[in-house]
Chain A
C-alpha cells in the first residue's frame, strides 16, 4: 500500500504517494517531482551537490528518507529565483562567472543562502566554513567566495533601501 507524504517545496504544498517510505528526498525531488536542480554527486552525504533547505537549515538530502520531511518545508535551487527574477546570489554567481562545469553550484547556492539568512555580513572565513561541506572539483573556489560576498553586499543594500 502506498503511503502519502505531505510537505512543502519552494512554498507550495506537495503530496507524494510512495510504496517506499525510505526513498531519499533527492530521488523524490528528481524522479517524482521533476525538480532536477538538486544534483546527485555521491549518495553518501559527502559532496554537497544535493543540499536543500529543510525548515531553513541546509541539509544533504541524498540519504534523507522521505518520511523524515513530512510536514516540513523544503527549499531547492529552483526556489531561489529564475532567469526573470534571479536571487541576488544567482545574479552574483553570474556576474562573477563563479563556476566551470556548474554541477556543484545548486548545493553551493543553497548553503550560501542558509548562511546569508542567518548572517548578512559574513567574513571570508565564515563563508569558507559555511561552504566546507560543498566540493567543487573544477576549482572555482575564489570566484564562489567573491560571488557570495557580492551577493551579501547586494542583499544588505537592498534591505536598507
Chain B
C-alpha cells in the first residue's frame, strides 16, 4: 500500500506539468497557485529547491496559466502551501527519484549510492559528470507521479524554514511594468464598461453625443444586449466617456438597495435555507444559568488598491485572456459557458494585480474584456474598471448576524454552546456556480445559481469558525443561509470566521467577567488543546499580561484566540487600546502556530497584514 497522492497531484499527475529543465542549469517549476501579494511563488521556489536539490537561483516559477500549469482550482482559503505546497513537494520528489534511477542506469550503480547537489549527480559524494540536464533527454517527464519519490526529512531542509526574500518585490520597488495594468499589447484598445445596475435592468436611452463630448477624443460604443462598453485608443478619452456615461445612459427595471436592506438585521426576516450542525438541542434544562448575546457586522468591500483589470484577444478562433483572478481554470470554464466557446479554444493567463483578499472584481473584468474581444476579433482589449465601479460592483463580504447562547455550570464555564448564524453566501465565485457580472447583461443571461455556501469540507462559509474550539461538552451551529441579498456577496478573507470569532470571543470575555476570572486564565481553563494553550500563553507572555491588572482611564487590554477553520493555523492576539472620542490601537502582540513554515518572514508579513487590515 502506498500513501495516496496529494489531491492536487492526483488531479494533475503528469510530472511535466510541475517541473521542466528548459536549458542547461535552468529549472522551471509550474504551479497552479498565483501570486496575490502573499508571497506564494517565493515559498514554492523554496519547496522545489529542497526537493530537487537545486539552488533557488536556478529556478524560475511559472504560475497560473491554462496552457500547462497544473489545475489547482483557486488560490484561496489559506490552502496554497497546505495543499499546493504538498503537491509541489511530492511532484519534485518524484522527479528527483526518476533522475536518480536514470543516473544509476547510466552509471551502472544503485540509486542508493547517488545523491544530488545543486542539480549535479554525486556518487558516494563525488561528482559523476552527470546532472539533471545531461540526463533530461532520457527521462520521460510526461510520466505520471507515483508518490514514491522520497520527500526530504524536516532535518534535511535547507531552504524550507529559512526566511527567503520575495522574488517579486524588487520589480515592484523599481517601478517595473509587473502588474496586469501595465501590460501593453500591439494594437491594444482601452475599454470601460457602462455597467448594468442590476440583473434584469435594460438600457432605455443612450445620449451618445453627450458621451462623445465628454470624451474629448475618438471613442466607439460597443453593445451586446444590455452590455455596453466604450472603447478607443486613448485611455484618457475612454475613461472620461466611461465616467460621464453613468449619467447619460438611462436604465429600466433598476433596483437600488434601500438603507434598511444594508443593515445586517435586515437578514433576520429573509428567506433562508436552514442547516443544523452538532449536538442535539438540549431544550431548557433546569438549574443551568443561561447566557445570550447578539452581534452583527455589515457588508465589507475588498477595496483592493487598484481597480480590477482584464485583457483579452480573440484571434483565429482562439480567445486569450489575461487576468489577476484567483483561478484561471475555473474562469476558463465560466468564459466557455457564457461565450459558447470550447474550453480548448480559450487560454487564460494569470498576471499579478494589486493585493487580493478574496473574490473581487478580477474575474468580472476579465469577462468584460472577453465579451468585447469577441465583438472585435483581432483587437486586443484592455478593460480597467473605474474606482467607483470597483466599489459598487465588486462582490462584498456579506453582512452577518451571530447570536450566541450558552448554558453555564456552577463554576461559570460553558457546558452547552449554540452559535446561530444568519448570512448570505460567502461563495459566488464562477467556479462555484456564481455568474460573471457582464454575462447578466448579455441577451441570454444565465440563471441565478441555486442557494449554496462553501462546503464544510472546505471550512464552511457562514459557518466558518462558528464552533468554538474550547472544551465545551455540547456545541451546535444553526446556520440560516439567507438566500436574498441587496448586493452580490462572495469570499473575503476568512469568510464567516471574522464575525463568528468576534462574537465568540466577546462572549468568552463576558463569561470570564461573570465568573470573576482573568480572560487568559479563563480561556486556559476551558482549553486542553496543547497548541492552543501554547499560543495563548505565548501571546500573554509577550504582552507581559498581568491577571487583574487595572486598566487606565479608557485604556485597556484584551485577548482573543482562534484556530482558523478549527484545523489550520492557531493564533492568539493581545491588543492594548484606548477608547475616547476615537479608538486608538496602541500595541498588538500575536503568537501564531502555522505548523511547518516554509518562509518564516512570509508568514510574519501575512500575519502583520492581517492584523492591520482587520484593525
Contact = CB atoms under 8 A, between A and B. Distances in A.
Contact of B306 (A40, A77, A93, A140): A40
A56 interface: no
Interface stretch (A31-39, A124-132, A153-161): A31-39
A131 to B, nearest CB: 14
Contact of A43 (B39, B184, B239): B239
A39 B605 contact: no
B168 interface: yes
Given A37-B174, A99-B173, A100-B38, A139 B612 contact: yes
Contacts of B7: none
B177 interface: yes
A142 to B, nearest CB: 6
Contacts of B200: none
A135 B165 CA distance: 23
Interface in A39-92: 39-44, 47, 49, 76-78, 80-83, 86, 90
B601 interface: yes
Nearest to B184: A34
A117 interface: no
A142 B386 contact: no
A138 B354 CA distance: 9
Nearest to B302: A137
B169 interface: yes
Interface hub of A20, A102, A103 (most chain B Cβ within 10 A): A102
A137 B354 contact: yes
A143 interface: yes
B170 A137 contact: no
Contacts of A82: 174
Contacts of A27: 235-236, 239
A17 interface: no
Contacts of B610: 139
A105 B303 CA distance: 17
A37 B177 CA distance: 6
A4 interface: no
A90 B354 contact: no
Contact of B305 (A44, A136, A142): A136
A76 B175 contact: yes
Contact of B355 (A19, A40, A80, A100): A100
A36 B175 contact: yes
A23 interface: yes
B332 interface: no
Nearest to A19: B217
A14 interface: no
B305 A49 contact: yes
A99 B169 contact: yes
Contacts of B306: 39-41, 49, 103
Interface in A90-145: 90, 93-94, 97, 99-106, 109, 135-143
Given A40-B181, A83-B170, A139-B610, A78 B605 contact: no
B120 interface: no
Interface hub of B175, B234, B609 (most chain A Cβ within 10 A): B175
A100 B37 contact: yes
Contacts of A143: 605, 608
Contact of B173 (A30, A35, A94): A94
A90 B169 CA distance: 10
A38 B169 contact: no
B237 interface: yes
A137 B168 contact: no
Contact of A137 (B184, B304, B307, B387): B304
A7 to B, nearest CB: 17
A137 B174 contact: no
5 contacts: A19-B216, A78-B174, A101-B353, A103-B37, A137-B355
Given A43-B386, A93-B173, 13 more contacts: A20-B237, A37-B176, A40-B306, A40-B307, A81-B174, A94-B165, A97-B169, A100-B37, A101-B355, A103-B179, A137-B304, A138-B355, A141-B612
Interface of A: 19-20, 22-24, 27, 30-31, 34-44, 47, 49, 76-78, 80-83, 86, 90, 93-94, 97, 99-106, 109, 135-143
